Structure 1
């Protein structure tokens, strides 16, 4: 490792997770969600690994993410679902990107792009079944269907998907789950009555949590998000056999001996209670290490767990080695699969009172993503393609 820190991504874990999740979901089609730079793991390498693992389709939040995939040579079906006015819809249609529509104004913008390019838009219509985020509420769903059908008659669009999103699938037994399923079934019924729900139209609602726990929600396809990366969608129920893909490491920059009662880092919130050895780890909150990891999060260094000592700084944090002997250049593992005794991402999330999604997506562009075809140390680098940030 020639950089102060790096995030090692095991692409074989991505492939394993896709295959495992498809089996758990009864073999229905799987869409790999690679938004936000593949949850911080590296957009293009992860997309390729997910397709190799059996994903049939790819999902992104933004059009520019989908265009980046096309520019990298990815030819699989790609859906983009979060579209604001003025997006490059002409480019999207020319690249064969499928688009989600949740309101009539967006349908009209997409249809205008279809007329300009001469390429009918492939649409997934989104229903809001109770998350109150994206999608057309059921009261406005008929109007969305009517407009989409009129545009289909014109030849400007094709309806290829009908979808929605759970709010609480990661809370088994939550009353909203069945309520949303019922609402989605009603949306599908209305679409069928209107003539917008033929056998070729993909019905999809299940996220990672629903894919592994809710057979009734799988329909024609499941969307694999956090579980794709080997992180449990319902931590209270275990890891479901998933393999964590990311290991975050850094090299010690400095080791120094300090006396008893030495204040460490800003504010001296940590003061040594004996003569001890400190090590500087060159990664900080500018790289996504949450500042409230101060005094809470643990890392693995010299074969032992060490807690962050003193406040996390912009570019670095400190650990207390006691009388152990480590040197500049020695590796510190912030988190990984746990195979070597290091903390896992779930441990970090639990310790910091957040979710694994937030931790991995905040790791910044100064930290290179190194893509391996196997666990760290077990295989050669297969891709040096960056994080996309």
Structure 2
């Protein structure tokens, strides 16, 4: 990595649209990738577009950082388990049919995590914790194992024909993207180009549920999927793991993702704090009848958020498409929720 003791630099994602979840997620993922390799990275919105700033930051620095992220995940992205050779670190897999299969899978997961810990790969460990794991502990009232309940709700890879997130999404991206010509990784992130190696057709689902089908640049997709690591989850004994940035209502069954829009510059740790905060959730439920908080709680949350620069929230309804057995979940266009200033 070059010496960055230079004049301030800026990388602007000019093709982004605040109404589309994948662009927020790519902003967070790229910010995290740069934060781990460069000092002084800050994130801000500039005229509605994501903007990342750091001393000496330039497209070639972004290219180098993203390329290193793509090629540095082999310790777990390439790991396979069992006779089916399924990706060891995928959070949702086709059901294990025996106790021995579960034991083999868990042993392989634990060995992978031990290796990452020994190498101090803290960012990878944070990401995998946010992604989740097959929930061997969770059963329904009939005693049926619900092994998908430990996964992040942002992990929306369709499960038809045995497909899974790490093996069918992250691994192909990590193999294809490093072969791009110089300049095309950065161009995909700014919106200057849109190369879709995985999909390559007008109905592409390369975005993996983070927007509706359509051709999309795969460097943007990689950063968006890496952005999942900024949303920690809390596994539960009953029910699905609680995912930061996600809302679910049961009457009728509906769900949403939500993210903040802010003024000023944030460092990546500040972003993580806000994304996981109860205050952001309390403000995001406004108008959802069976989730909405009382006026006092919502007002306190708004005051807390405004003091930290949050001026609005974008809430994305999640649509379900296809069969009931293997539905595809997709984040639809977002709706803005302003954060009201305190009244005096």
Q: Same fold (TM over 0.5)?
A: no
**Length-normalised TM-score, structure 1:** 0.19
> Which is greater in Rg?
1
Higher strand share: 1
